[in-house]
Amino acid sequence: MLKNYYTVKREGNGQQIIQKSRFIGYVRRVESEEAAHDFIQEIKKKHHDATHNCSAYIIGEHDQIQKANDDGEPSGTAGVPILEVLKKQHLKDTAVVVTRYFGGIKLGAGGLIRAYGSTTSHAINETGVVERQLMQGF
């Protein structure tokens, strides 16, 4: 069992406008794949009219469960960049959904990767990161 690890505070979000497209990042601590799916569905329902609701999550002590979804964006341009931010920040038990409302300007593959990655980082910064430690009770 890990003595300590990093995850996000309970829940939060952040948004940015990039080339007239609105990107909204939602972050939540999740401890099971079912909780991650429920969170993703909740955001998809909330933003049913959005162009895309891309997601990624990492669950488990040793990152056993890692999933990413591009939700209609070109392959590898949305879900994977979100997942990479989670990995680079060494976060565990964390799910992210980035909602995009298209603003009329195509960003290209590189632009999408940067937009989804930066929105994820922004949302995590707005939410806050905590260190969880294993404690022994008496």
List Cα–Cα distances, 91 to 38, 66, 109, 126, in angstroms.
19, 12, 25, 15
CATH number given to 14-103: 3.30.230.30
Q: Is the pTM above the cut of 0.75?
A: yes
Domain positions in the chain are 14-103
CA distance 111 to 133: 37
Spatial separation of the C-alpha atoms in residues 25 and 127, rounded to whole Å: 10
Using the predicted structure, report yes or no on whether residue 1 has a pLDDT greater than 90. Answer: no
The stretch 15-23 carries a mean pLDDT of 97
For 35, half-sphere exposure in the C-beta direction (CA atoms, 13 angstrom radius) is 16
